[in-house]
Amino acid sequence: MSLRKERMTDEIRDLLAITFQGDSIQDPRLTGVTITAVKLTPDLQLAYVYFRLFDPSKTPDALKGFQSCAGFLRTKLADNLEVRRVPELKFFYDETIEKGEKIEKILSHIKKESPS
């Protein structure tokens, strides 16, 4: 990853995280959101934003909330980033914890069944 892309990824993640920590977002569907990662396309035109919630069952509502405030978030980024074009934002629920737990269960199951 180029230094510029890496720096921009970190800045976007930090700016979005700060926005969700404060009272900037009034949408109740986005209460308890934590930004976990941002991935940029090579042309820096699209940012994939990964998030977590305290209650994963509210993910569909949160995705709708993100769709409605995407313009506001891009404006916040435009005010703070020194770039000609702010990337479009796409939001995804971060499933890494659930996937990790699933792998751990599989590995422990294999360990129990393997002869010692």
Residues 6+ apart with CB under 8 A from 83: 8, 44
Q: What's the CATH number of domain 3-113, 3.30.300.20, 3.40.50.300, 2.60.40.10, 3.40.640.10? A: 3.30.300.20
Phi, psi at 34, each rounded to 5° = -125, 125
Q: How many other CB atoms sit within 10 Å of the CB of residue 109?
A: 10
Of 7-16, 97-106, 107-116, the poorest mean pLDDT is in 107-116
Strand partners, 50: 37, 92
Q: How many other CB atoms sit within 10 Å of the CB of residue 4?
A: 11
Strand partners, 38: 49
The amino acid at 113:
E
Q: Give yes or no for residue 116 having a pLDDT over 70.
A: no
pLDDT digit string, tens, across residues 40-72: 999 999 999 999 988 888 899 999 999 999 999
pLDDT of amino acid 3: 85
Residues 6+ apart with CB under 8 A from 74: 86, 88, 89
**pTM over the 0.85 mark:** no
User: Cα–Cα distances in Å, from 71 out to 33, 37, 78, 86, 100?
Assistant: 17, 19, 10, 11, 33
Domain residue extents for the chain:
3-113
